[in-house]
């Protein structure tokens, strides 16, 4: 690290030539900020900088041996198809080509006119090192650059020998950076959403992990609560983190499984969770990208994969939910009424993906229901309620006070520190679905590849022949830019795919196989204790209470409930707030329709009869016989009855950029 702080100028630099075009020179510089590509051609200069934050990984390769029918010295007009890179020791390398190739994989943020206005394009930069007359010397140069790039990506000090002429220990340094990472644990639900999570992971996530040289162990869930019991029973510390592939349901299982461990505090602290959206809602995946201003809608799977590979553990609030029969922890939302009814009753339409919510919203709008009950809540400290009546908009319900929040003459004790709120943002969600496969092909992925081809073609349109000079020569500089519409991906060494069944040896899994939970099976829930009165005890007088008929009561601690539902635009991953939305009886179907249409942009908070209140805890007591409805926690159905919800700030951690 000391070398990087005192060093002035680029860490590494090299001059490369385009042999097929006269007077074209590339001066490539590697700095702690990124990779600078300066093109000098016919007196003009054009520079492009690829940020380190956008570089995913790099690897050294060698050209593949050509078939006997082709001539090494033959100059082909379609040179792009001639380069077939292989691993150094694959047995297929071209021994006559002394060049070493450094592939640098980057996902650059580009402007895009449609929808969100931005997207990430995959860019492959290939540097061809053939400055020496021996392959070993050229590969040593390429390895220098590779190790330096990898160290910058990981924000670790670059070995002194890389920045000097002393390159005797490069191979040892290469082994050091390649073997210092644990694997990821991947838990995949093959039945989430439309049921294509397995194919999506293999085709679209594995290539990104391969480019970043991150290995993993894949386990496919076999039944309900499989993931929950897996993280509860297994030694999860052998992995660097948990990647869940599926919908919000499997995230719920993993988090609650970790909180059922006796060492729950250590598990939540040391094992971050990454989310790959494969379900119908995918609220957490969207919220993570929204909090980091990433263009999620253009390619949700890619953006979520980059959040895992490039991200770091970030704190995330959870809430403790207590019902008459169980205690659980929630990461997304708790709901009663309209939205919960849509979520549960639309399960019969799961095969159509996220569109099931839209279809069932129309049905519930036609048959609008109301529910009787009582709601108690503890507003965020520092706020007071004024004119809390039907028809008052969210912006008028709460006013900032310099004193403590007061109700009925009682003082409120400050529980959580003050948090800043952000205004409602414009819509960046247009009912996209990650499973867009027109005619069996992934539209999102094709678009990204096409734009990459155009971008790289405009920047680096020229190739060099891959023939090698058989005569010894002095040190030269060389450049090669590989442009390929189709990306070649390589399997990860050490990664394993496991589909656990009863026949698997228990000893190979570190214990017994995960069996389905028996009915009425009770597992002790650990986690932080409540600081509130128990569910059946009376609440303090300073809590606010509302009684009557409701259309819905829904609380969220993430910005999005699904891909296209921006429920709480001001919410962040760890802001210490439960955003409680209330709609009471008296709202018309037209106003309710306006509310539904506004959910994609956050403008639903401006609708009449809609009240959004930041709270730290609340209690819900539905009246028996007051309307047949559903209560959900993170989209999962729970017993219909009283429940108490309490915020647990920054309890979990997720991988985010």
Question: Where residue 115 falls among pLDDT bands split at 50, 70, 90?
Answer: low
pLDDT digits (tens, 9 = 90+) for 233-252: 999 999 999 999 999 999 99
Residue 320, SS3? strand
CATH number of the domain where residue 247 is located: 3.40.50.10330
Choosing from 54, 97, 248, 463, the catalytic residue is 248
Q: Is the pLDDT of residue 654 over 80?
A: yes
Residue 604: pLDDT over 70: yes
Percent of the chain with pLDDT over 70: 67
Is 354 domain-assigned?
A: no
- pLDDT category of residue 192 using cuts at 50, 70 and 90: confident
Tokens representing residue 119 in the block = 């997207």
> At residue 153, does pLDDT exceed 60?
yes
SS3 506: helix
Say if strands 24-30 and 34-41 run parallel, antiparallel, or are unpaired: antiparallel
Domain with 194, as residue range(s), is 184-316+495-509
Catalytic residue list contains 564? no
- Residue 89 CA to residue 105 CA, distance in Å, equals 21
Same domain for 210 and 112, yes or no, is no
pLDDT score recorded for residue 281: 80
- Average pLDDT of the residues in 35-49: 87
pLDDT score of 650: 96
Torsion of CA 598, 602, 603, 607, to 10 degrees: 80
DSSP character at residue 159: P
Same domain, 35 and 55: yes
User: Whole-angstrom distance between the N-terminal and C-terminal Cα of the chain?
Assistant: 22
Q: What percent of the chain has pLDDT over 90?
A: 42
And the tokens for 184?
A: 């990821």
Across the range 126-130, mean pLDDT stands at: 87
Copy the structure tokens of residue 172: 């040892």
- DSSP assignment of 7-70 equals --S-SEEEEEE-TTSTTEEEEEEE-SSEEEEEEEETTEEEEEEEEGGGEEEEEEEEEBPPPTTS
188 and 165 together in one domain: no
Q: Which helix (H) or strand (E) holds 454?
A: helix 443-459
Choosing from 147, 179, 211, the residue where a domain stops is 179
In DSSP terms, 276 is beta-bridged to 245
State the pLDDT at residue 84: 55
Question: Worst-scoring range by mean pLDDT, 95-109, 347-361, 444-458, 516-530?
Answer: 444-458
Residue range 584-597: average pLDDT? Answer: 90
Quote the number of domains for the chain: 2
More confident call, 298 vs 359: 298
pLDDT grade for 619, boundaries at 50, 70 and 90: very high
Q: Are 429 and 566 in contact, with CB atoms under 8 Å apart?
A: yes
Domain check: are 160 and 193 in the same one? no
Confidence of residue 203 (pLDDT cuts 50, 70, 90): very high
**pLDDT confidence bin for 220, thresholds 50/70/90:** very high
Quick one: which of 304, 135, 143, 121 has its CA closest to 209? 304
pLDDT score recorded for residue 443: 37
Residue 174 lies in a domain: yes
Question: Are 228 and 132 part of one and the same domain?
Answer: no
36 and 126 in a single domain? The answer is yes
Q: Residue 285 above 80 pLDDT? A: yes
**162 and 287 assigned to the same domain:** no
* pLDDT value, residue 365: 82
Residue 478 has pLDDT above 90, yes or no: no
* DSSP codes of every residue in 408-421: TTB-----S-----
pLDDT above 50: residue 401:
no
Model confidence at 461: pLDDT above 60: no
Would you say 453 and 485 are in contact if contact means Cβ atoms under 8 Å apart? yes
Model pLDDT, residue 328: 96
Per-residue DSSP letter, 515: P
The answer as to whether 637 is a domain residue is: no
Task: Please report the DSSP string for 324-361 in residue order.
Answer: SS-EEEESSEEEEEHHHHHHHHGGGGGGGTTHHHHHHH
Flag whether 239 is in a domain: yes
pLDDT band at 517 (very low <50, low <70, confident <90, very high): confident
Which residue, of 164, 179, 194, is where some domain finishes?
Answer: 179
Contact assessment for residue 608 and residue 394, using Cβ atoms and an 8 Å cutoff = no
What pLDDT score was predicted for residue 351?
A: 65
Question: Among 86-95, 309-318, 510-519, which range has the highest average pLDDT?
Answer: 309-318
The residue from 509, 542, 562 where one domain ends is 509
The angle subtended at Cα 377 by Cα 374 and Cα 378, nearest 5°, is 160
Name the percent of the chain in helix, strand, coil, to the closest 5: 30, 30, 45
Name the nearest CA neighbour of 614 among 590, 578, 649, 645: 578
For residue 177, what pLDDT band results from cuts at 50, 70 and 90? low
Q: Are 551 and 338 in contact (CB under 8 A)?
A: yes
Residue 428 lies in a domain: no
Residue 18 and residue 114 in one domain: yes
Q: Are residues 174 and 29 in the same domain?
A: yes
Q: Are 615 and 378 in contact (CB under 8 A)?
A: yes
Maximum mean pLDDT: which of 154-158, 363-367, 557-561? 557-561
Q: Please check whether residue 329 lies inside any domain of the structure.
A: no
**Is residue 570 situated within a structural domain?**
no
One domain, residues 161 and 49: yes
| pLDDT tens string 324-354 | 999 999 999 999 988 888 878 776 666 656 5
The verdict on 271 and 169 lying in the same domain is: no
Same-domain check for residues 155 and 273: no
Q: Mean pLDDT across the chain, nearest whole number?
A: 75
* Range ranked top by mean pLDDT from 197-206, 512-521, 617-626: 197-206
Q: Is 350 within a domain?
A: no
């Amino acid at each position: 690290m000391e070398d990087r702080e005192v060093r002035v100028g680029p860490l590494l630099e090299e001059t490369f030539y385009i042999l097929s075009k006269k007077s074209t020179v590339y001066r490539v510089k590697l700095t702690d900020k990124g990779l600078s590509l300066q093109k000098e051609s016919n007196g003009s200069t054009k520079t492009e900088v690829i940020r380190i934050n956008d570089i995913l990984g790099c690897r050294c390769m060698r050209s593949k041996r050509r078939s006997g029918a082709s001539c090494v010295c033959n100059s082909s007009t379609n040179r792009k198809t001639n380069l077939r890179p292989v691993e150094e020791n694959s047995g297929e390398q071209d021994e006559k080509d002394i060049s070493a190739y450094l592939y640098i994989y980057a996902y650059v943020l580009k402007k895009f006119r449609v929808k969100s206005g931005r997207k990430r394009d995959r860019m492959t930069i290939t540097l061809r090192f053939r400055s020496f007359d021996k392959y070993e010397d050229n590969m040593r140069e390429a390895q220098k650059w590779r190790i330096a790039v990898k160290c910058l990506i990981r924000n670790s000090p670059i070995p002194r020998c890389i920045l000097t002429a002393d390159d005797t220990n490069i191979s040892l340094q290469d082994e050091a950076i390649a073997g210092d990472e644990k694997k990821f644990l991947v838990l995949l639900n093959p039945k989430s959403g439309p049921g294509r999570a397995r194919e999506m992971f293999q085709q679209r996530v594995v290539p990104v992990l391969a480019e970043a040289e991150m290995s993993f162990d894949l386990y496919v869930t076999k039944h309900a609560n499989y993931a929950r019991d897996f993280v509860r029973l297994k030694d999860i510390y052998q992995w660097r983190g948990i990647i869940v592939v599926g919908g919000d349901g499997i995230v719920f299982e993993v988090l609650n499984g970790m909180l059922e461990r006796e060492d729950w505090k250590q598990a939540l602290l040391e094992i971050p969770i990454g989310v790959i959206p494969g379900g119908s809602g995918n609220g957490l995946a969207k919220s993570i990208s929204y909090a980091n201003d990433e263009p999620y809608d253009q390619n949700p799977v890619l953006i979520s994969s980059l959040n895992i590979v490039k991200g770091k553990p970030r704190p995330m609030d959870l809430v403790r939910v207590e019902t008459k029969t169980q205690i659980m922890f929630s990461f997304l939302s708790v709901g009663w009424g309209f939205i919960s009814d849509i979520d549960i009753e639309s399960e019969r339409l799961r095969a159509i993906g996220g569109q099931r919510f839209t279809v069932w919203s129309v049905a519930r709008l036609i048959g609008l229901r109301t529910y009787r009950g009582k709601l108690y809540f503890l507003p965020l400290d520092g706020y007071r309620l004024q004119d809390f009546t039907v028809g008052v908009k969210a912006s008028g319900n709460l006013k900032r006070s310099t004193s403590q929040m007061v109700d009925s003459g009682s003082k409120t004790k400050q529980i959580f520190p003050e948090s800043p709120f952000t205004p409602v943002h414009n819509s960046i969600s247009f009912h996209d679905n990650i499973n867009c496969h027109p005619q069996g092909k992934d539209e999102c992925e094709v678009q990204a590849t096409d734009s990459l081809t155009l971008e790289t073609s405009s920047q680096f349109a020229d190739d060099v022949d891959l023939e090698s000079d058989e005569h010894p020569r002095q040190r030269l500089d060389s450049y090669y830019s590989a442009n390929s519409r189709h990306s070649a991906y390589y399997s990860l060494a050490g990664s394993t795919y496991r589909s656990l069944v009863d026949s698997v040896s228990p000893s190979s899994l570190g214990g017994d196989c995960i069996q389905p939970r028996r009915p009425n099976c009770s597992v002790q829930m650990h986690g932080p204790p409540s600081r509130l009165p128990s569910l059946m005890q009376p609440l303090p007088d300073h809590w606010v209470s509302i009684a009557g008929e409701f259309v819905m009561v829904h609380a969220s601690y993430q910005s999005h409930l699904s891909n296209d539902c921006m429920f709480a635009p001001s919410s962040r991953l760890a802001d210490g707030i439960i955003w409680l939305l209330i709609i009471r009886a008296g709202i018309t179907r037209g106003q309710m329709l306006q509310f539904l249409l506004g959910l994609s942009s956050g403008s639903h908070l401006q609708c009449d009869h809609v009240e959004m209140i930041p709270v730290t805890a609340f209690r819900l007591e539905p009246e028996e016989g007051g309307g047949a409805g559903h209560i959900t926690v993170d989209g999962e159905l729970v017993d219909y009855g009283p429940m108490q919800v309490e915020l647990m700030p920054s309890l979990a951690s997720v991988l985010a950029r």
